[in-house]
Amino acid sequence: MTGLLALAVSAVAGPTLIMGSWLVLTLVMTGLGLLVRRRLGATDRPTLLDWWTNAWVGVVVSLGILQLWHLARPITPLATAVLGVLSVVGWMHAPRERIPDGLRTFVVGHPTSTLAIVLVAFWAANRCTAAVSLYDSGMYHIPAVEWAKQLAIVPGLGNLHGRLAFNGSSFLLAAAIDHGPLSNGASHVLNGWLLMLVLTEALVRGARCLRGEVFAVGDVMMCAWIPALITTLARDDAASLSTDLTVSLLLMATAVRFVEALGSPPDVVRRDGVARDILILLAGSIVIKLSAVVFAVVAGAMVVWRHVQGLEGSARLRAVTNLLVWPSILVLTWMGRGAVISGYLLYPSSLLSLPVSWRVPAEQVAAEAAWVVQSARHLNSRTYGVGLDWVGPWMLRIFSKDFLLLDVAAPVVLVAVALAWGSLLRRATGPRRAPWWYAVPVGASLAFWFVTAPHPRFGHALFWIGAGLAVAWAFERGRSSDRLAVPARWGLGVGVAITTVVLFSVQVRAKGPSHFEPYTWRWLASPVFVIPAPGVVLHPMPTARVSQFRSDYGVELQVPTNDNLCWNAALLCTPHPAPNIAFRHGAAVSGGFVARGPWRAQRFPNPVTPGFVEFLRCRQRAGSTGEPRACLRLAARPPALGSR
């Protein structure tokens, strides 16, 4: 009985702690957003949906503040306190109506919807109490947070651990969260909170759609995303610091505002500062993950064009300058951080390198970029190839493997169904010009994604943004007819419900046992409800298994024994130890690292693909006239005794 009582307390305490953390984060980020947006001329009477925009702008503003802070100081509780103080200032200068009329009206007028949202939030918080199991979180997400917490930015850190040079600024925000009762717990909070930001807005907008109230195209887009958002909670990403999920959520939140801005008159866009907000959010997506750059640049250019329509001469130039100032500062600061960490402004791209002593060896940069491409094309199958060999297996797997269906196959099917439905409705509603230009950033980004790193998780947001646009177009056709308006609303609701059940069931099955293992009650429950760990509120972080390694220059390193997972081991942990790594200044870790001579990192990219570096070097020696398959055969040979 005592054990059951302790289990019940933990089952409530964990989600309660996380929901409390989410509430604090919401208040802090909303305050930061209020401070910046009001200083830049936002409306004095925000609508209900403006408060989500405040929170998202606050997230990006916090990234900018922490980027600057980390240039000189570690992300200690003092940095977190500074964010809190600035947020209080923002709230003090907010409109007197601290809780907007729309929110009060929604809560009072729709208690059932409000209760449903609270229950969904509690369930999501329970899902986020799960143990961190995402591979990349153990490899470099958690270590990046530890480095940010303990030291200011370290020159040449990429020489120690190449993945730390990827320079994702969301890890700085995670480090600001990872203190006090949430020490070593940011992975349970950050992505889950961002997911709930999108999901709660989608649920509120979806409720408006089903009731037939006045709504924008963005309402239907977000309603179409509800199945993907709920299903994501059954995956490992929610209880992790995955930058793929972080940037996906930010892009989805930005895409809604982008589409609504293109559908608004230019004078409204200028008056409400919509373009400024969107550009700030797009800049935030770049500093979180470089793969968002194409969407950010294309969408940003379109929003700027919309903003300046009707302006001429100096007025247009002044408007563009005002729009670009703050996003440029954010991105340039981020690029400066990249220069310090690796000697490259856009690592793992070799473009824009700097002649600094701590610059990462060029071969390492090329190998990092090549492995990203190879692992994406081969869907992390620990294989690599040449030419277009990857296309056939890639197409087969993304439409057959249950754990990949959510990212590509499901939204593609949804697009097809929506287009077919809209075409059928055309007979009843008459021809209507579709705003195809809304999808230009998605199309450009998907082309870049397919050519560079076509892993489904990198394209998750792009495919679902496209699916949301298709559903919104089809729904608009039905809503334009009085006879079809009510059936269209109910069709949307039923479609969302069915899609959610199907996708969630598929994801649950993907996490299930193999054909040779029995189905147990624990397996049936675990994808839906996280069972608390004995004696703790949140599931603890895994412990790294490491061995000692000493470089030729006396740097004592810790190396994971059988994998690449450092988790929160001591700082000098790297999965790719190099005999020629050295401190820049004496034995001071804060002074940074340099590689003496050519790249000599061992076990790259991981212990199970030891021939990848040999394959790359063979390709380089052979040149464009060489036979690439001979290089594959060379890489497939077992390593010689005593070799690295």
CA distance 242 to 461: 14
Amino acid occupying residue 503: L
Per residue in 488-499, pLDDT (tens digit) is: 777 888 889 999
Q: What is the DSSP letter of 560?
A: E
DSSP code string of 241-305: --HHHHHHHHHHHHHHHHHHHHTS-HHHHHHHTHHHHHHHHHHHHHHH-GGGHHHHHHHHHHHHH
User: Beta partners for 594?
Assistant: 582
Give the distance, in angstroms, between the CA of residue 322 and the centroid of all CA atoms in the same chain: 28
Residues 371 and 612: beta-carbon distance below 8 Å: yes
The yes-or-no verdict on residue 47 having pLDDT over 80 is no
Q: State the average pLDDT for the chain.
A: 87
| Confidence band for 641, pLDDT divided at 50, 70 and 90 | very low
Residues 230 and 199: beta-carbon distance below 8 Å: yes
Per residue in 288-297, pLDDT (tens digit) is: 999 999 999 9
The yes-or-no verdict on residue 107 having pLDDT over 80 is no
How would you class 621 by CB atoms within 10 Å of its CB: exposed for 0-12, middle for 13-18, buried for 19 or more? exposed
- How high is the pLDDT of residue 489? 76
Which residue in 618, 363, 620 sits closest to 635, CA to CA? 618
In this prediction the pTM is: 0.94
Which residue in 165, 141, 172, 218 sits closest to 59, CA to CA? 172
- How high is the pLDDT of residue 529? 85
CA distance 262 to 266: 8
Q: Which has more confidence, 626 or 62?
A: 62
